Amino acid sequence: MTDNKIIQVAESFKLPVGNQRIYENEVEDYNYIIIRKGTLKKNNCGSYVRTIEIIYVYDGEQTIKDSEIIKAFEDINLRFIQMDPDDIKVGDTNKWVDMNTYIFERPERIQ
């Protein structure tokens, strides 16, 4: 499965999507998705797997359910590992937004 397929699935949620990061001038509010490639490791079979982090940032109520995100990416054969919730402070303000990081794995070819 290609990175483009992962981006297509993220875009299906009708939110801005960033690759690795998203800049404040690229979004109207704090509701977006970031796709980030994570660690690369060798598995027991001598092949490689890479983690893919799908980071859902939202302000206020979570409008996309965890189960919807997990299912959408499992449907393209990413293997769900875990979800880590967090909140982040917006610059030098008193504003905080929520952030859920969904961690998946996929096979990776090393050439």
CATH value at residue 21: 3.30.70
Q: Report the pLDDT value the prediction gives residue 1, as an integer from 0 to 100.
A: 54
What range defines the domain where residue 42 resides? Answer: 3-108
Do residues 76 and 52 lie in contact, with contact meaning Cβ atoms separated by under 8 Å? no
Do residues 49 and 105 lie in contact, with contact meaning Cβ atoms separated by under 8 Å? yes
Number of structural domains found in the chain: 1
Predicted confidence pLDDT, tens digits, the chain (111 residues): 568 899 999 999 999 887 766 656 555 678 889 999 999 998 877 789 999 999 999 998 899 999 999 999 999 999 999 999 999 888 788 889 999 999 999 988 776
Residue 96 identity (one-letter amino acid):
W
What does the buried/exposed string (b/e) look like for 62-76 if buried means 16 or more CB atoms within 10 Å of the residue's CB? eebeeeebbebbeee
Residue 85 identity (one-letter amino acid):
P
